[in-house]
Amino acid sequence: MVLDFLPYKTPQQPRRKLGWIRYVTFAGSLIFVALLFLAKAESIERIMFWAFIAGNVLYYCAGIILAYAFKDNRAFCKYICPITVFMKPMSCFSLLRIKCDKSKCVSCGKCRRVCPMDVDVTDNSRSRKNGTECILCMECVKNCPKDAL
């Protein structure tokens, strides 16, 4: 992804409470598509094609601006990406997830520091903080000094 070329591999500041923006983005997209169908637009395929192109350009621009503003390459994923609207409910039932062996864990916090999405992988509960945003990059598993993950 283009944002991986930016210099901010790990967040430089604590996560902000702006996750509500993704719901606004999702609702706006859904309303736009619904209005196209309800208005019975004649060249809906063409409109959707150009909307797709324009939407991707806007997403990349917003992602780059957010990355520089928050000094975090994954700011777009954390605050705007509408895909997590679907992922959040389904992640509670996910079979593939990273689990922590509490008997091996020494609470060094290295897993938390290397996670690009700020997921607390030491919490095994289904409702762990930011757990739905895990991208399964396995950086936490690779960097765990005690193989607790």
60-88 pLDDT, tens per residue?
Answer: 888 888 888 888 777 887 788 888 777 77
Distance CA(37)–CA(141), nearest Å, equals: 46
Among residues 137, 100, 97, 91, the alpha carbon closest in space to that of 115 is found at 137
Nearest Cα to Cα of residue 22 among 135, 136, 133, 137: 133
Dist CA 142 CA 16 (whole Å):
27
* Eight-state DSSP code of residue 93: T
pTM of the model: 0.61
Q: Is the pLDDT score of 131 beyond 70? A: no
Can you give the residue ranges of every domain in the chain? 1-82, 95-149
Condensed to tens digits (0 to 9), the pLDDT of residues 90-108 reads 766 777 778 888 888 888 8
Architecture of domain 95-149: 2-Layer Sandwich (3.30)
State the pLDDT confidence band at 31, using cuts at 50, 70 and 90: very high
